[in-house]
Amino acid sequence: MVCTLLIASYHIQAQTAKQSRPHLFKNVSQKIIAPVSELDKAFHTPEGSNLEIKMNNFLFRGVVTSSIKRYDNLYSVIIKSPSLNNAVFALSKRINDDKSVTYVGRIINEKFADGMELVQERDGSYTMNKIQTEFLLQDF
């Protein structure tokens, strides 16, 4: 009987919803323009250097912690922002067979419920769009 109560108690506690994480980007527009010239700066900044990427009224300021050429056509950069509670901007640049360039990236921080995702629009321009990460990122 006691064992049954302990198991039931544990199961009920495991089903209790955790407290929601705060939002890091609550004062940022839902969608902001991300100029290619600003994104490309990340791939010309050496590791350990400070970098500012200006996107509309949003400034991502951080330190390049990793800059890797994975293949002849794929580059990846990680930028950590102390001013955004150590949020990480993971940005990649792919040079396609036709020599066009495609960028992908996200700004996330596991302690917050939101992030930003780089999206290529139909006209070829890029925007950073808010995303909800609280259901994507699991606690460790």
Report whether 91 contacts 42 (CB < 8 A): yes
pLDDT, tens digit, for every residue of 23-71? 777 888 889 999 999 999 999 999 999 999 999 889 999 999 999 998 9
Least confident of 5-9, 28-32, 80-84, 106-110: 5-9
Phi then psi for residue 33, to 5 deg, are: -70, 135
Say what the pTM is.
0.79
CA count, 13 A, side-chain hemisphere, 81: 18
What gap in Å lies between CA 77 and CA 87, rounded to an integer?
A: 14
Question: Which of the 8 DSSP states describes residue 16?
Answer: S
Average model confidence (pLDDT) for the chain? 84
